[in-house]
Structure 1
C-alpha cells in the first residue's frame, strides 16, 4: 500500500538524513522516550486517518494496520540505539513531522485505492 512506494523510500531517507538529531540527549518535559513518542505519534495519526476515511472497509483497515506494523519495525530498526533515550523537543518535533508524513502517504494511497 505505501511501503512499496517511492514516497516511503523518501521518508526513510529523510529519517536517515536526520539521524544526527537523535544523537543528542535531553528531555522534552513529558519524560517520554523516543520509542514511546514514535509509537504514540504514529498511532494517533493512523487513528485520525481511519476516522477521516469512514468509507474504508475492514480489509482496508487491516491492510493499513499491517503496513503500520512494518513501518514501526523499520523505524525501530533505524532508531534502535536511541529508542530508550528521553526525547528532546526537537526530536519530538521531528517524530511528529514524520508521523504526519506517514499519514499523508496513507491518505494518498487511500485516494488511489478508492478511485
Structure 2
C-alpha cells in the first residue's frame, strides 16, 4: 500500500538525513518518554485518525494498514536503533510528529487511489 512506494523511500531517506538530530545530546522533555514510545504514540495517533476519516475502508484494507504500520515501526527501529531507548527532546518530538503526519499523508493518498 505505501511501503513499496517511492514516497515511503523518500520518508526513510528524510529520517536518515536527520539522524544527527537524534544523536545529539539535548534536554529531555519533562515526561522523559523514550524515542520509541514517542514514535509509537505519534504513528498510532495518525493511523487512528486515518481510520476514523476513512469509514469506507473494508476490514481487509484496515488489516493491510496495520501490517504496513508494523513494517514502518520496524524500519524506524532499525534506523534509530542506537537511540530508540533514549529520552526524547522537544526537537526530536517535533520531527517525529512531522514524519508521522507524512506517513498519514502517504496512506491518505493510497486510500484515495484504492477507492477510485
Give the structure 1 partner of residue 17 of structure 2.
Answer: 17
Aligned residues: 115
Which residue of structure 2 aligns with residue 47 of structure 1?
48
Alignment partners' CA distance in 2, 1:90 and 1:10: 21
Pairwise CA distance, 1:28:
1.7
Whole-angstrom distance in 2 between the partners of 1:3 and 1:29:
34
Which aligned pairs between 1:46-85 and structure 2 lie closer than 5 A?
Answer: 46-85=47-86
Instruction: Quote the Cα distance in structure 2 between the aligned partners of 1:28 and 1:54.
Output: 35
Moved over 3 A (4+): none
Q: TM-score, normalised by structure 1?
A: 0.98
Cα distance in 2, alignment partners of residues 30 and 102 from structure 1: 25
Who is 1:30 aligned against?
31
Output the TM-score relative to the length of structure 2: 0.97
Q: List gaps (5 residues or longer) in structure 1.
A: none
Distance 2:96 2:31 in 1: 14
Gap regions ≥5 residues in structure 2: none
Contact 1:45 1:99 in 2 (8 A): yes
Deviations 1:21-78 (A, max 9, x none): 0012331222100000000000000000000000000000000000000000000000
SS at match of 2:105: helix
